[in-house]
Structure 1
Amino acid sequence: MSKWHLPPDWRNYDGLTAYEREKRATIPYQQQNQLDQGNAAYKGRTEFDVLKDNHRFIREDEDPQNVTYEERLARAYESKLFKEYALIDLKHYKSRHIALRWRTAEEVIDSIGETTCASLRCPYHKPTQDQLARLERRGIAMPPLQAFELPFAYVEAGEKKQALVKVKVCDKCARKISYKPSNDRRSNEAHTEQGQSVPSSNSGRSSRRKREEHGARRSESPRRR
């Protein structure tokens, strides 16, 4: 049976008052508290919160000398990302608001966003086996992909930035990236936002035609005696 031993600097309690013994016994807790205070910015927050506040899409300073614990954590995460091709979210493409992120190591190994569509909401982003089987029966391995180099403007840490980012998408998602509303559609949307209806020339002609047909039917109907 092994015997438990106190650390050497703890063994001699002779000659110490009760207060001094209590003070020595609390040293490990004080040391732990100092470590917690050193990471006070991180304390009480999740790792996701730290990454969200400190992540940078593109870092300009690669080798900073003095960085905080949170910045080191964010840089460690960023070092695992691959920045050759990005993935894109086109949910709000009509308002020209898109989101981009870099690929992870797992996505690079699976060729996601390089041999598949980079749009996160596209069925050909991570195609199922059934989809691949249907394409194979048609003699198509995957839909043809188009490469874009997008001028991506974004705000990071209160600062406006811009970068060129490469994405590869299918034809359907390529049309979303190139989407531009027509002038007529813009004017209609502006009138709708102001609460005004936008009459069209076709609707005016159809209403006049209905009135003329109604008058002709009344003239042809026999009078009652």
Structure 2
Amino acid sequence: MSARLRSLNPYELHKYLVNIYCLNQKGSTELLKRDTAKDRTDLDVIRGNHKFLWDEDDVADTWEKQLAKKYYDKLFKEYCICDLTRYKENKVALRWRVEKEVVLGKGQFQCGSKHCNNVDNLKSWEVNFAYLENRMKKNALVKLRLCPECSDKLNYKSQKREIKRLKKAHKKKKKSKDRNKSDSDESGEEPHTPTVEPSDEPSTSQDTKDATTSSEDSLWKKAPQDIEEKSREEEFEDYLEDLLL
């Protein structure tokens, strides 16, 4: 038997040993299947090493990072494509455009929302995109072209804050009116409205000066108005709105 094994080439010897030691029982061919649990495609490698923005100082020191950087260099980074399916949670996903989308005009001449192809009344938006990358919080200013409906979804949270701010201001104004009304009711007199009687004599410059002085004094005697402090995020949004007008 040993002489027979010596006469076999490596492939035939491999088949013989497999048949003798592995395939003696029914269903034992499953032992020959390769474990594919740890297999990775090029797409898996790119996803694992992808960066939304690569800095000049970033070094691609492994072949995985080199592959991700090569993919990043082929992207078009003028306008973004967004996913607004979770806009009510203030969660918007953004990514750069690929060549096929640039050829079709998606994100520039068509609405930049992933699930919208509207081409009418598009608006340009500059968005402060805050994202988490490698357990680090980062942010970047990106451009979007959206239709009116998707623009409302993008600004869903800021619109709610604007409505809340207006309601708050309206409540303050109403409270001040009620306070003035209660003060007039307590005094038992109606608020006096100054009237000016017509006069044939022309008003002198001294009278004008006295009126100006009295008006300035009344301005200084007024109580300082409450100024609503804005958060840093609201100030940034107001700045962007003024910039895009």
TM-score by length of 1: 0.52
Q: Following superposition of structure 1 onto structure 2, how do residues 104-115 of structure 1 map, counting pairs within 5 Å?
A: 104-115=98-109
Instruction: Tell me which residue corresponds to 2:122.
Output: 145
Instruction: Tell me which residue corresponds to 2:51.
Output: 56
Q: Report the CA distance shift for 1:115/1:99 in structure 2 as closer, same or farther (over 3 A).
A: same
User: Contact conserved, 2:125 with 2:145, CA < 8 A, in 1?
Assistant: yes
State the shift of 1:52 in Å: 1.1
Letter of the 2:124 partner, please give it. Answer: A
Quote the Cα distance in structure 2 between the aligned partners of 1:113 and 1:162: 20
Which of the residues 35, 40, 61 maps onto 1:45?
A: 40
SS in 2 for 1:164: strand
Of all paired residues, the percent bearing the same amino acid is 41
State the shift of 1:63 in Å: 6.5
Which of the residues 155, 173, 181 maps onto 1:178?
A: 155
Letter of the 2:139 partner, please give it. Answer: Q
State the shift of 1:53 in Å: 1.0
SS in 1 for 2:152: helix
SS in 1 for 2:108: coil
Give the structure with the higher percent helix: 2
- Does residue 118 in structure 1 map to residue 104 in structure 2? no
Quote the Cα distance in structure 1 between the aligned partners of 2:82 and 2:99: 17
Quote the Cα distance in structure 1 between the aligned partners of 2:156 and 2:86: 11
Letter of the 1:98 partner, please give it. Answer: V
State the shift of 1:44 in Å: 2.1
State the shift of 1:61 in Å: 2.9
SS in 2 for 1:56: coil
Q: Following superposition of structure 1 onto structure 2, how do residues 1-225 of structure 1 map, counting pairs within 5 Å?
A: 44-61=39-56, 64=59, 67-124=61-118, 142-180=119-157, 182=160
Quote the Cα distance in structure 2 between the aligned partners of 1:102 and 1:113: 9
TM-score by length of 2: 0.48
Quote the Cα distance in structure 2 between the aligned partners of 1:161 and 1:46: 28
Give the structure with the higher percent strand: 1
* Greater relative contact order, per chain length (Cα 8 Å cut-off, separation 6+): 1
SS in 2 for 1:116: coil
Instruction: Tell me which residue corresponds to 1:218.
Output: none
SS in 1 for 2:156: coil
Q: Which runs of 5+ in 2 are unaligned?
A: 1-5, 11-37, 165-245
Instruction: Give the number of the structure whose alpha-carbon radius of gyration is greater.
Output: 2
In the comparison of the two structures, how many residue pairs are matched?
A: 127
Q: Which runs of 5+ in 1 are unaligned?
A: 1-17, 23-42, 125-141, 187-225
Would you identify which runs of 4 or more consecutive aligned residues in structure 1 move more than 6 Å? none
Q: Report the CA distance shift for 1:63/1:93 in structure 2 as closer, same or farther (over 3 A).
A: closer
Cα deviations by residue, 1:189-219 (Å, 9 ceiling, x for unpaired)? xxxxxxxxxxxxxxxxxxxxxxxxxxxxxxx
Quote the Cα distance in structure 2 between the aligned partners of 1:115 and 1:167: 11
